[in-house]
Amino acid sequence: MFPSILKSSKPKPPPQNFRASRPEQPVELAEQDVWALPPNVYWAATAPANKPAPNWLRMVCISDTHNTTDANNYPVPEADILVHAGDFTKMGTTAQIDQFICWLKSLTHIPIKVVVAGNHEVILDKEFYEKHWHRFHTTKEDHETAVNKLKSAGHGIIYLNNEPYTVDGAKLLHKKHQKQKKQSSTNITTKHVDTTGVADMDIDAPAVLDPREGWVEGYRIWASPWQPEFWEWAFNEVRGKLKDIWKHIPEDTDILMTHGPPKYHGDIVPQDKELHVGCEELLERLKVVRPLYHVFGHIHQGYGVSEIEWDGGSHSTVCINASSCTESYRPLNRPIIVDLPPK
């Protein structure tokens, strides 16, 4: 019934279902490159032009863009929300953060852009930068300035650091309506309207919602830049000690964003003797939180989608490694699109 979409360009027979696994089931290297996707998840190039219905939420997932997207015209399809799972700069300088913000602002076809840092955004990890700035930058830059650039960027940019964000459908619609109004008002002559006795319109008030567009309840996101230690970069924590971070992931999280993968999902580094380098403690927390989606990056080779089935498949977590850059830091992996039904 659903099209079989293959990650691999190699023509191999498609499996009947997309790759699913129990929480502790390692994935063999041979199976890595072929599987079909869940019915509402798409590689950008093969996504239908429209959402199944206007009241669905289209989410586009990217990660690990490393300041390569602008020069390469990296294509980002139209969506309601973009999520970026970290490593948006090459080396975390203020200028590179500016460059990234500038690129995000150019995505005017997506009203909300939720961003978390990765290990390359060294300036955003205050404690780390204080100690190690000279390993990355020739002159020391200001941590607060860099953080404030992201926090005050506007244009729907939401920077999260171990914190939640609820997708506000009303706000999204309001923005959309304002944009439409702006576009249509260009050819309309303004008429004086007597507002006596009418309360001033609060421009931040939610627009009157068409029930068909009512994804007002909002999906709950929670995002963290932390990952298991690898060569002493920002937001690194030694394996075995990340439990204290993951315990803050709220149990009602719908969409979890972390820079790094959980163990066994989008986490294969073929050269490593461990093979699966994802965070074991993050997997442990997933077993409790069981979000609908887990979006991450960091392990560029792990780009792709898999699913963890809970309780014998009655519900699941779809794991999305959205690394846009390949192992050689070229932005060749397309965004991954998810169409979410109204909550």
Binding positions for ligand 5GP, rule: CB under 6 A: 64, 87, 119-120, 228, 230, 269, 272, 277, 298-301, 327
Q: How many residues bind Mn ion (CB under 5 A)?
A: 6
Q: Is 266 in the site for Mn ion (CB under 5 A)?
A: no
Token match 């073929």: residue? 270
Give the relative orientation of helices 143-151 and 126-136 as an angle to the nearest 10 degrees.
110
Closest approach of ligand 5GP to the CB of residue 238, in Å: 11
Strands 41-43 and 336-340: antiparallel
Closest approach of Mn ion to the CB of residue 63, in Å: 8
The residue (of 116 and 167) whose beta carbon lies closer to ligand 5GP is 116
Closest approach of ligand 5GP to the CB of residue 138, in Å: 20
The residue (of 68 and 119) whose beta carbon lies closer to ligand 5GP is 119
Closest approach of Mn ion to the CB of residue 250, in Å: 9
Q: Quick one: residue 314, left, alpha or beta (phi over 0 = left, psi -120 to 50 = alpha)?
A: alpha
Other beta carbons less than 10 A from residue 186's beta carbon = 6
The interface partner of residue 177, options being Mn ion, ligand 5GP, none and the CB cut-off 5 to 8 Å by kind, is none
Cα distance between residue 69 and residue 104, in whole Å = 10
Beta bridge partners of 310: 315
Other beta carbons less than 10 A from residue 160's beta carbon = 19
Closest approach of ligand 5GP to the CB of residue 100, in Å: 14
The interface partner of residue 160, options being ligand 5GP, Mn ion, none and the CB cut-off 5 to 8 Å by kind, is none
Cα distance between residue 9 and residue 33, in whole Å = 9
The residue (of 297 and 335) whose beta carbon lies closer to ligand 5GP is 297
Residues 33 to 72: which contact Mn ion by CB under 5 A? Answer: 64
Residues 110 to 149: which contact Mn ion by CB under 5 A? Answer: 118-119
**Would you state the structure tokens that stand for residue 285, as one six-digit string?**
């927390």
Cα distance between residue 294 and residue 286, in whole Å = 9
Determine the distance from the C-alpha atom of residue 225 to the mean position of all C-alpha atoms in its chain, rounded to a whole number. 12
Q: Quick one: residue 92, left, alpha or beta (phi over 0 = left, psi -120 to 50 = alpha)?
A: left
The interface partner of residue 290, options being Mn ion, ligand 5GP, none and the CB cut-off 5 to 8 Å by kind, is Mn ion
Largest CA distance in the chain: 74
Closest approach of ligand 5GP to the CB of residue 329, in Å: 7
The residue (of 87 and 125) whose beta carbon lies closer to ligand 5GP is 87
Residues 288 to 327: which contact Mn ion by CB under 5 A? Answer: 290, 298
Which residues here bind Mn ion, judged by CB under 5 A? 64, 87, 118-119, 290, 298
